[in-house]
Amino acid sequence: MTYVVTENCIKCKYQDCVEVCPVDAFYEGENFLVINPDECIDCGVCEPECPAEAIFPDSDPKSADWANLNREYAGQWPNITKKGDAPADADEWKGKPGKAALLSSNPAKR
Ligand code: SF4
Ligand code: SF4
């Protein structure tokens, strides 16, 4: 079992989740975060912290299309442990449907 970041995070990336994760399992892309399934201890603490309601357990059908993507990018993107600034237009993208096509495969710019 693991928790999975899904579509609602795209272009929101508020990062509240990274502050509460006890094992620092989050990895940062340009406009999305992912969870490393090999590091996640399935505590569930991050799920209610996400203002965009983007995090679900992998047993939830909403995670189905996103679990493999979390694993793939967790191996490519840098680890994130501290909350940074959310995108300036994050609130405008919150809850918008159809964001999957906007997912950037690029790692976060540091
Ligand atoms: S709190 Fe939610 S929207 Fe923000 S970065 Fe984490 S998963 Fe993405
Ligand atoms: S479920 Fe727990 S261990 Fe897994 S990513 Fe969320 S806070 Fe971290």
50-87 pLDDT, tens digit per residue, is 999 999 999 999 999 999 999 999 999 999 999 999 99
The verdict on domain 3-80 having CATH code 3.30.70.20 is yes
Q: Which residue from 5, 108, 1 is spatially nearest to 66, judged by alpha carbons?
A: 5
The percent of residues above 70 in pLDDT, for the chain, comes to 100
Q: Which ligand is nearest to the CA of 51?
A: 1
74 CB within 6 A, ligand 1: no
- Residue 36 confidence (pLDDT): 98
Give the chain's end-to-end CA distance (angstroms, integer). Answer: 30
The predicted pLDDT at position 70 comes to: 98
Give residue 46's pLDDT: 98
88 CB-near residues (< 8 Å, 6+ apart): none
Predicted confidence (pLDDT) at residue 106 exceeds the cutoff of 80: yes
pTM of the model: 0.96
Please report, for the chain, the start and end positions of each structural domain, with discontinuous segments joined by +.
3-80
- Position in ligand 1 atom list of the atom nearest CA 8: 3
Indicate if ligand 1 lies below 6 Å from the C-beta of 16.
yes
